[in-house]
Amino acid sequence: MTQTLDSPPLSPQQRAESWLSGFEQALRERDVARAAGMFAATSFWRDLVAFSWNLTTVENPDGVTDLLTATLESTDPSGFAVEEPPDEADGVTTAWFTFETAVGRGRGLVRLVEEDGVPKAWTLLTTLYELKGFEEPKGPRRPMGAEHGVNKERLTWLERREKEQAELGTTVQPYVLVVGGGQGGIAIGARLRQLGVPSLVVDKHARPGDQWRGRYKSLCLHDPVWYDHLPYLKFPDTWPVFSPKDKIGDWLESYVEAMEVPYWTGTTVTSAEYSPERGEWTVELERDGDPLTLRPQQLVLATGMSGKPNIPDLPGQDVFRGDQHHSSAHPGPDAYAGKRCVVIGSNNSAFDICGALWEHGADVTMVQRSSTHIVRSATLMDIGLGALYSEEAVAAGVTTEKADMIFASLPYRIMHEFQIPLYQQMAERDADFYERLEASGFRHDWGDDGSGLFMKYLRRGSGYYIDVGAADLVADGEVKLAHGQVVRLTEDAVVLDDGTELPADLVVYATGYGSMNGWAADLIGQDVADKVGKVWGLGSGTTKDPGPWEGEQRNMWKPTQQEALWFHGGNLHQSRHYSLYLALQLKARYEGIPTPVHGLQEVHHLS
């Protein structure tokens, strides 16, 4: 549709249809320059597998040129069509669309702005959601289940399941081995199961969900229920807004059963080695104490985005007479009534543990080593998440899947610009709380640029607390506060760098976790860990997220420099959403579909 100076303004529908048809025509004619010219001077194209067989973001027309030059011929995109009536606000037209590639079907979201009197793309999201010929057996394609009639060779559902379980890992090797059976491993396991990829999830615990059950008793999800669904099977409408840990543990166990996720409990991976000649891994395991070897072709580390516990090595730990442990091993407060408890750290686990110890009559001191960002959970739910993940959003037609796409459509480069005003609103709403908190001596921050919790999480994975009540104990002086670095322990005290001695019967190291890269080093080798480089973070140049800029979460859910090695994890939202794209990449490789990767991440070393 051509617009002249005398033409009436285009409607949002016309603007979106015009841009998509023009974009498709340019792609069909392989006119990369014309397609790139349809993007604004400052613009972002985020592609999740559809064009790049990668998770990648390119910027500005030059970045679009690079992406299309490398991928257009093999992708052969077509069929771009507006999926629902577009929206228009503040000069931006937002349109949902569908499209196809040579091997799959996709869905996208484009935001159009006027530049030089012409609609141009400001942000573009393209995602692959299914492979042609390998669609998931769901909805109208769901299996019949019952086999009617008579058949002397019939196997019941239970017999088929028992046969499959007996063969897996013995006569049948999994194509994909997933190490780690928390929410991340379970989510990718369910996706692969539905796609028909032979896979196996292994975990050291006795039951699925024990990763949650084994943590301190006050632990609960700080994210609301609408944000936390797993693939295929949402929480019931009666589920609490904030899930207690044991309830989540039970849900994960029931999910494994309901989704028939191939899952081995009591299994520890001791080593893994890749053979490029054979195109497979040799993975040594112990299952219920018995050694065995698996030979998968793909290895997924779903050991948690936070990696291994960081436990400081301090002089005097060997002479301290009380209890000491990392927050991940904290048994709960019951044994510490009336005891002097020192919790080192000031993030989520530290506050939760301090609160539970205080409730049980302990004398509690928190050691704050660096500033922390705190946001009230109710405020975060109302202001930070409510537009996408809430009862109101569901009522307005924003499904979980649609909310995930909207969130994913905001490029990381500019996401902080959307977050800053939200956290300014939160600061105004809870101004009295922050005044009390800072008056207590607590060192509070809003992130390097005022963008708050989500950017801290994406950039560094730590440095924040979603407050479910314990912060008031610090603000009111019920939990004592100390500042500084711990330099040593004595028989009965924690000593800080300014000489302060904190009497202690219990020391909890709420000192966070290392990179997932550490698990790769332990299981495979330091050479592979170095080859892969950093895991997590954006390269934003902010605190604990050094550059160079990557534009995506480093090494997460996408190919790495180590062939056939993948990392999967994050919160429940990320485990749900990104498991789809990881599963499609693995399914394509399993079926022999060519997967030319564009923009493979360079190695950013750990130093």
Q: What pLDDT is attached to residue 204?
A: 95
Could you tell me the fold of the domain covering 323-376+410-509? FAD/NAD(P)-binding domain (3.50.50)
Q: What pLDDT is attached to residue 7?
A: 63
Q: What pLDDT is attached to residue 60?
A: 98
Asked if 107 and 97 count as a contact pair (C-beta separation under 8 A), the reply is yes
According to the 3-state scheme, what is the secondary structure of 241-293? CCCEHHHHHHHHHHHHHHCCCCEECCEEEEEEEEECCCCEEEEEEEECCEEEE
Q: Establish whether domains 12-131 and 323-376+410-509 are of one fold.
A: no
Asked whether the predicted pLDDT for residue 210 surpasses 80, the reply is yes
Q: What is the pLDDT of residues 545-581, one digit of tens each?
A: 999 999 999 999 999 999 999 999 999 999 999 999 9
Classify residue 581 as left (phi > 0), alpha (psi -120 to 50) or beta. Answer: alpha
Instruction: Report how far residue 121's alpha carbon sits from residue 37's, in angstroms, rounded to the nearest whole number.
Output: 9
Q: Which of 580, 552, 350 is nearest to 458 (CA)?
A: 552
Instruction: Report how far residue 97's alpha carbon sits from residue 81's, in angstroms, rounded to the nearest whole number.
Output: 5
Asked whether the predicted pLDDT for residue 307 surpasses 90, the reply is no
Q: What is the CATH number of domain 12-131?
A: 3.10.450.50
Q: What pLDDT is attached to residue 434?
A: 96
Structure tokens that stand for 517 in this block: 């890269």
Residue 287 pairs with which residues in a beta bridge?
Answer: 267, 290
DSSP H or E run through 294: strand 290-294
Structure tokens that stand for 81 in this block: 């069509």
Q: What is the pLDDT of residues 365-414, one digit of tens each?
A: 999 999 999 999 999 999 999 999 999 999 999 999 999 999 999 999 99
Asked if 292 and 285 count as a contact pair (C-beta separation under 8 A), the reply is yes
Q: How long is the chain?
A: 607
Instruction: Report how far residue 579's alpha carbon sits from residue 598's, in angstroms, rounded to the nearest whole number.
Output: 20
User: Nearest 5 degrees, angle CA 17-CA 20-CA 21?
Assistant: 80
Q: Which of 200, 202, 195, 277 is nearest to 590 (CA)?
A: 195
Q: What pLDDT is attached to residue 604?
A: 60
What share of the chain has pLDDT > 70, as a percent?
A: 98
Distance (Å) of CA 128 to CA 45, 108, 405, 458, 581 = 14, 9, 12, 23, 7
Asked whether the predicted pLDDT for residue 444 surpasses 50, the reply is yes
Return the minimum-mean-pLDDT range out of 226-240, 300-314, 467-481: 300-314
8-state DSSP, 394: H
Structure tokens that stand for 444 in this block: 């509070």
Domain extents for the chain? Answer: 12-131, 167-307+514-590, 323-376+410-509
Pairing of the two strands 323-326 and 55-59: unpaired
Pairing of the two strands 464-467 and 373-376: parallel
Asked whether the predicted pLDDT for residue 1 surpasses 70, the reply is no
Burial of 157 (0-12, 13-18, 19+ CB in 10 A): exposed
Instruction: Report how far residue 128's alpha carbon sits from residue 47's, in angstroms, rounded to the nearest whole number.
Output: 9
Q: Where are the beta strands (DSSP E) in 14-172?
A: 39-48, 55-59, 78-82, 87-89, 92-100, 104-115, 118-131
Q: What pLDDT is attached to residue 247?
A: 96
> What mean pLDDT do residues 266-275 have?
97
Q: What is the pLDDT of residues 212-232, one digit of tens each?
A: 998 888 888 888 999 999 999
Q: What is the pLDDT of residues 18-56, one digit of tens each?
A: 999 999 999 999 999 999 999 999 999 999 999 999 999
Instruction: Report how far residue 334's alpha carbon sits from residue 236's, in angstroms, rounded to the nearest whole number.
Output: 32
Q: What pLDDT is attached to residue 607?
A: 43
Instruction: Report how far residue 124's alpha carbon sits from residue 234's, in angstroms, rounded to the nearest whole number.
Output: 28
Q: Which of 419, 413, 415, 454 is nearest to 574 (CA)?
A: 454
Could you tell me the fold of the domain covering 167-307+514-590? FAD/NAD(P)-binding domain (3.50.50)
Whose tokens are 């780690």? That residue is: 180
Asked whether the predicted pLDDT for residue 174 surpasses 60, the reply is yes
Instruction: Report how far residue 160's alpha carbon sits from residue 502's, in angstroms, rounded to the nearest whole number.
Output: 61
Instruction: Report how far residue 186's alpha carbon sits from residue 379's, in angstroms, rounded to the nearest whole number.
Output: 30
Integer Rg of the chain from CA: 26
User: What average pLDDT does the structure give for the chain?
Assistant: 94
pTM for this prediction:
0.95
